[in-house]
Structure 1
Amino acid sequence: MAATPPSHPTGPHSAGARPPAAPRRAFLKTGAGLATVGVAAAAAAGAGWLLHKPGNDRQLVYATVADAMREVERLASAAVQPLPPATAWNWSETLVHCAQSIEFSLQGFPAPKSALFQNTLGAAAFTLFAQRGRMSHNLAEPIPGAPALDAAAEAQAALARLRQAAQDFAAHTGPLQPHFAYGALDKAQYEQAHAMHLANHLSAFDVVA
């Protein structure tokens, strides 16, 4: 037979009485409200990017690096030009930047962000981009720690470097290095990350008749 618990005084000044729970409930309610606002703001921002289409963004979408490279070859074989307003980087700089991203996924990024950033904001950004199939980022933002891009670089040499990086990635069967912002990605996730990255940059260029 279970013992009957002892009775305790319940007055506000009784010895051993617990403090009221209202402040904690108010705190939790406020925290939940702020979290809801944060999620709503993030969702609104994502929807804004989905609906936004600036004049120099063709909003290309590719599922694989090979798909993106076919567009690279099409542009490289013709009179490729940046769409107005022109991006800060020219065609050769863009190709080298995209090659660097693929190379670093195999070799290691020189200046990765903290594990905390990768596991929170970085992972959330990749999830959002992956769900909508496109990424949106500053097209003139270098990879942290990467060698500076050369505006005078020869376009054919830049193209050859990107081709080699894409081939090396396709043939790679070993472990991949954590992305500087997104953190650890498997081969399929990296495939999507590189394809989205290429698509975002290629969207700012086209063939001019």
Structure 2
Amino acid sequence: MNRRHLLKLGALSAVAVAGGGYWALGRGEVPGEVSLAGARQVLAALVDQSLVSLEGWSPTEVFNHCAQSIEYSISGYPELKPAWFRASVGPMAFGLFASRGAMRHGLAEAIPGAAPLSEPASQALALQRLQRAFEAFAGYRGELRPHFAYGELSHADYAQAHVLHLYNHLSLIRPA
């Protein structure tokens, strides 16, 4: 098989997988409006609640992880996927999530190169960190850093990504 055929086959396979993924991705119930304001309302409702995770990370770790992602969009991610990924597969995945209004990803996958999810150690302080991260992002008007997988995103696209990311993680968190 020559290189041209291999590239065509690869492109067609990616389109088929993405198309199948589009229809397989459930919309599910979102806990709030898919906006920065909606996410802040959802987080405000979690204050002073005792929470548990159905599996994987604790609520504290989830809040620290989501805060890291928002903070890294401003300061820069510690590690990036290869440029070819950030120019092809990554944007295609984000486009799929954005069009469906839902994200589905590995809920125990740390951001490559990120600090451990142990600080702050209490649920209340981790939730405050996440709330501060959303507030800082909402007011940030500088240049945003490339997402480690999706590549370059506008402020509006990053806002949507952060909210969908949070909502995906909250799907495993319940009141104790």
- Per the TM superposition, whether the score is higher than 0.5 is yes
Following superposition, the deviation at residue 163 of structure 1 comes to 1.4
For the residues of structure 1 that align with 2:147 and 2:10, how far apart are their CA atoms?
30
For 2:41, which of 70, 91, 94 is the aligned residue?
70
Q: 1:124 to 1:76 in 2, by over 3 A?
A: same
Following superposition, the deviation at residue 127 of structure 1 comes to 0.6
1:82-101 to 2 correspondence within 5 Å?
Answer: 82=53, 86-101=54-69
Following superposition, the deviation at residue 152 of structure 1 comes to 8.4
TM-score of the aligned structures, taking structure 2 as reference length:
0.87
**1:39 paired to 2:10:** no
For the residues of structure 1 that align with 2:7 and 2:80, how far apart are their CA atoms?
31
Amino acid at match of 2:37: A
Provide structure 1 residue ranges, at least 5 long, that are not aligned to the other structure.
1-23
For 1:48, which of 13, 20, 24 is the aligned residue?
24
Question: Where does residue 204 of structure 1 map in the other structure?
Answer: 172
1:1-209 to 2 correspondence within 5 Å?
Answer: 35-50=11-26, 58-60=29-31, 62-82=33-53, 86-150=54-118, 153-208=121-176
Task: Count the aligned residue pairs.
Answer: 175
TM-score of the aligned structures, taking structure 1 as reference length:
0.74
Q: 1:40 to 1:32 in 2, by over 3 A?
A: same
For the residues of structure 1 that align with 2:151 and 2:47, how far apart are their CA atoms?
32
Identity %: 39
Q: 1:152 to 1:185 in 2, by over 3 A?
A: closer
Following superposition, the deviation at residue 45 of structure 1 comes to 2.2
> CA contact under 8 A between 1:61 and 1:196: conserved in structure 2?
no
Provide structure 2 residue ranges, at least 5 long, that are not aligned to the other structure.
none
Amino acid at match of 2:174: D
Q: 1:123 to 1:79 in 2, by over 3 A?
A: same
Is the radius of gyration larger for structure 1 or structure 2? 1
